[in-house]
């Protein structure tokens, strides 16, 4: 197992485009763990959008994490749906500022507080390497930067762990097969198929 080299972002980055979601295990290629930026799926929110409105959009799209961009489509940071919830916003409410006065920018994790890894480095890494890197740098998020210097994706510890838990264990597979066999036998499904 290796630890990936992380780095800080200096200049304004733009967002690249792409990809899909899959179930993971520790030996899966690291690139499969990356949440790719894709313009087809609304993953970018304007920094100036009111936080309650952004929460409603993310909730309707069942999105857990979105990128935050400025009006020039430069990457500013990330925001989690739970960070924009009414309960979360209530922590910041005072007499002068109600929940509707907070914007996505106020609630985001800014780019300059995030570490990044190069997409090239992920080419030969596994999900286990990514998880080791999270532990090493004590962060929950790592940006992925492509060869052109654009943000092309995000590695999120919570997302990776959730996707690893979706993979059925060998025991669960055996239990499902046993249940299916019992149903077939109890309803004579095998005979029906054979005698068609």
Tell me the CATH number at 131: 3.10.580.10
Counting as low any pLDDT under 70, the low residues of the chain are: 7, 9-22, 38-42, 93-100, 166-196
At residue 98, the pLDDT reads 61
Q: Indicate if 67 and 101 belong to the same structural domain.
A: yes
Q: From residue 105, give the alpha-carbon distance in Å to each of 7, 60, 66, 76, 188.
A: 23, 20, 12, 8, 61
If asked whether residues 50 and 120 sit together in one domain, one would say: yes
What per-residue confidence (pLDDT) applies to 62?
85
Q: Which backbone phi and psi does 113 adopt, to 5 degrees? A: -95, 0
The rounded distance, in Å, linking the Cα atoms of 109 and 47 is 11
Mark whether 66 and 146 lie in a shared domain: yes
Task: Report the run of H or E that residue 186 belongs to, with start and end.
Answer: helix 170-186
Q: What angle do CA 123, 61, 19 make, to 5 degrees?
A: 20
Q: What is the 3-state secondary structure (H, E, C) of 123-177?
A: CCCEHHHHHHHHHHHCCCEEEEECCCCCEEEEEEHHHHHHHHHCCCCHHHHHHHH
pLDDT at 56: 94
SS3 94: coil
Is this model's pTM higher than 0.95 or not? no
Tokens of 48: 């100036």
The answer on 183 and 88 residing in a single domain is no
In sign, the C-alpha dihedral spanning 99, 101, 103, 106 is negative
Report pLDDT for 14.
46
**C-alpha span between 39 and 43 (Å, rounded):** 7
Residues with Cβ within 8 Å of 24's Cβ and at least 6 positions away in sequence, in order, are: 32, 33, 127, 160, 163, 164, 167
Residues 160 and 176 in one domain: no
User: Is residue 118 included in any domain, yes or no?
Assistant: yes
Domain extent at residue 161:
7-165
Alpha-carbon gap, residue 113 to 1, rounded angstroms:
26
Q: Say if 178 falls within a structural domain.
A: yes
Total count of residues recorded for the chain = 196
Q: So what's the pLDDT on residue 33?
A: 86
Write phi, then psi, for 76 (nearest 5 degrees).
-110, -30
Could you tell me whether strands 74-80 and 13-14 are parallel, antiparallel, or unpaired per DSSP bridges? Answer: antiparallel
**Is residue 191 situated within a structural domain?**
yes
Task: Please indicate, yes or no, if residue 146 is contained in any of the structural domains.
Answer: yes
Is 1 contained in some domain? no
């Amino acid at each position: 197992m290796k630890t990936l080299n992380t780095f800080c972002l200096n200049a304004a980055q733009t967002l690249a485009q792409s990809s899909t979601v899959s179930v993971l295990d520790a030996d899966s290629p690291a690139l499969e763990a990356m949440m790719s930026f894709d313009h087809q799926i609304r993953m970018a929110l304007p920094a100036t959008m009111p936080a309650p409105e952004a929460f409603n959009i993310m909730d309707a799209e069942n999105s857990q994490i979105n990128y935050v961009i400025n009006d020039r489509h430069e990457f500013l940071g990330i925001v989690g749906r739970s960070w924009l919830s009414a309960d979360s916003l209530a922590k910041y409410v005072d007499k002068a500022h109600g929940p509707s006065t907070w914007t996505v920018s106020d609630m985001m994790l800014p780019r300059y507080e995030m570490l990044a890894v190069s997409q090239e480095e992920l080419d030969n890494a596994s999900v286990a390497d990514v998880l080791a890197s999270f532990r090493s740098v004590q962060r929950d998020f790592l940006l992925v930067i492509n060869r052109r210097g654009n943000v092309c994706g995000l590695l999120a510890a919570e997302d990776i762990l959730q996707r690893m838990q979706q993979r059925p264990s060998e025991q669960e597979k055996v239990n499902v097969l046993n249940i299916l066999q019992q149903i077939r036998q109890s309803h004579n499904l095998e005979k029906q198929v054979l005698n068609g």
